[in-house]
Structure 1
Amino acid sequence: MTEVTFAQLEPMPDDWQRALAVVAHPDDIEYGCAAAIATWTDAGREVGYVLATRGEAGIDTLEPAEAGPIREREQRASAAVVGVSTVEFLDHQDGVIEYGTALRRDITAAIRRHRPELVVTLNHRETWGETFWNAPDHVAVGRAVLDAAGDAGNRWIFPELTEQGLEPWNGVRWVAVAGSSMPTHAVDATVGRERAVRSRLEHRTYLESLTDEDPEAYVRSFLPGDARQSGKRFGNRPAVTFELFPR
């Protein structure tokens, strides 16, 4: 029986200075992507986070009004572990984010504020690995990020943003989608993976709602393993993979 082989992944571009990660919920970035962000900030690059929601509907035992502030605090602490100090929330409603012009406008405004060269988001397709159904929030935000990267440079789309002082930004060179089943590029996670684990552990309240297992054992059971599996297509080095869309 012939063994199935996959094309090797290319290194992510490194000729940039500013990145912006835009996702739906607290902890979305920490599912594997944080190791890449730690690597980038160690190299002196600037990375900011924008989250569409505060994850207020994510803990069954806590009312949203109580869960939202907790998850915001945990996200800020998590970001700090990997060298990120700028964390913004767009205050869309957790669980029922709608793809459309309102979401595109908010993300366009964030891109114009931060003026990144690289924008990072999470899997925008309907499934994970063609097996598990993806959350509608992830689909809506990921798709809106891909669209907003272009909207940000067009002064005639959302002209009210220009009137508010947010000048068009046509400097986005790539959108990188983490968690894609069709990755094209990767970042070596050797240095950043331990901080990625610690970053994920800052979401302790949420983790304790997910599992009765010890949170650290739970996190370590899949994050390093995912990096090793991805590394088979990246010179057998632990890797964070991305599907890269040039602009």
Structure 2
Amino acid sequence: MAEETQQLAPMPEDWQRALAVVAHPDDLEYGCAGAIAQWTDAGKEVVYLLATRGEAGIDTLEPDKCGPLREQEQLASAAAVGVQTVEFLDHKDGVIEYGTALRRDIAAAIRRHRPELVITLNHHESFGGRFLNTPDHRAVGQAAIDAVGDAGNRWIFPELGEQGLAPWGGVKWIAIAGSDTPTHAIAAEPGFERAVASLLEHRAYIEALTDEDPEAYARGIITMTSSFVGDRFGGKPAIGFHVYER
């Protein structure tokens, strides 16, 4: 019972650069973008790194047409919360493989952008013990965690050094969004409207997913995800993260 009622700590603020690493367009918009909006408003730099372009995400649209569409939606979605740099690794949507190739690509991005905070998505087999997670989320989340160590070790992927990417061991925190075991949180209300706007930019994806009005859907999703940890963060809507210190 004590664990259930223990209050979450505020998210660390002693950083200037963050790298958010996820598998697909829209992964950051289902709950995390409201935090990112607040950080960019405060003058912090956040870069998005996506393993795929989400080309397998719409059943009624062929991948060669879906990928470019979802890329454009992601760029607009990022801009809605103040993120100007979005990179795509072009791993294949739906069948991302955890391994050294993925770790190398993420480690290279960490070395390029030199973040103090790395954000990724729940890498466990379920959300809340009720909804199964996808193989892509699990692979990218675990690879992002592991790539933080890779990025700081000159003897792991030495070819990155030969390409001019010096080791970067300056990551202070790894924050897992959508975790069942959050340790930290940030109030949701200040970034709420920007979070809704960011998710709404994925209109083609939402329209293929549900018959509900897209704005009502987006507002409902952000309201729901903001309610998960509020009872452990002063009783107000909040965005939770499991934060690991480095």
So what's the TM-score if we normalise by structure 2? 0.98
Query: Structure 1: which 4+ aligned runs deviate by more than 4 Å?
Result: none
Contact 2:30 2:221 in 1 (8 A): no
Looking at structure 2, the residues matched to 6 and 95 of structure 1 have their Cα atoms a distance apart, in angstroms, of 37
Contact 2:34 2:194 in 1 (8 A): yes
Fraction of identical pairs, as percent: 70
Larger deviation, residues 233-242 vs 175-184: 233-242
- Stretches of structure 2 that go unaligned for 5 or more consecutive residues are none
The alpha carbon displacement at 1:230 in A equals 1.7
Q: Name the SS of the counterpart of 1:232 in structure 2.
A: helix
Contact 1:228 1:236 in 2 (8 A): no
Q: Residues 145-156 of structure 1 correspond to what in structure 2 (within 5 A)?
A: 145-156=144-155
Contact 2:30 2:225 in 1 (8 A): no
Partner residue, 2:208 = 209
Partner residue, 1:71 = 70
Partner residue, 2:27 = 28
Letter in 1 for 2:229: S
Q: Residues 101-140 of structure 1 correspond to what in structure 2 (within 5 A)?
A: 101-140=100-139
Larger deviation, residues 24-33 vs 184-193: 184-193
Looking at structure 2, the residues matched to 212 and 129 of structure 1 have their Cα atoms a distance apart, in angstroms, of 25
The alpha carbon displacement at 1:4 in A equals 8.7
Partner residue, 1:91 = 90
Quick check: 1:49 aligned with 2:48?
A: yes
Partner residue, 1:235 = 234
| Count of aligned pairs between the two proteins | 246
The alpha carbon displacement at 1:236 in A equals 1.4
Partner residue, 1:218 = 217
The alpha carbon displacement at 1:218 in A equals 1.1
Structure 1 vs Structure 2 CA RMSD: 1.2
The alpha carbon displacement at 1:204 in A equals 0.3
- Stretches of structure 1 that go unaligned for 5 or more consecutive residues are none
Looking at structure 1, the residues matched to 170 and 93 of structure 2 have their Cα atoms a distance apart, in angstroms, of 30
Partner residue, 2:59 = 60
The alpha carbon displacement at 1:189 in A equals 1.3
Looking at structure 1, the residues matched to 61 and 11 of structure 2 have their Cα atoms a distance apart, in angstroms, of 39
Partner residue, 2:162 = 163
Partner residue, 1:195 = 194
Letter in 2 for 1:157: I
1:127-166 per-position Cα deviation (integer Å, ceiling 9, x unaligned): 1111211000000000000000110000000000000000
Looking at structure 2, the residues matched to 133 and 237 of structure 1 have their Cα atoms a distance apart, in angstroms, of 27
Larger deviation, residues 5-14 vs 220-229: 220-229
1:144-192 per-position Cα deviation (integer Å, ceiling 9, x unaligned): 0000011000000000000000000000011000000000000111110
Q: Name the SS of the counterpart of 2:140 in structure 1.
A: helix
So what's the TM-score if we normalise by structure 1? 0.97
Looking at structure 2, the residues matched to 61 and 234 of structure 1 have their Cα atoms a distance apart, in angstroms, of 41
Contact 1:20 1:111 in 2 (8 A): yes
Letter in 1 for 2:169: N
Partner residue, 1:179 = 178
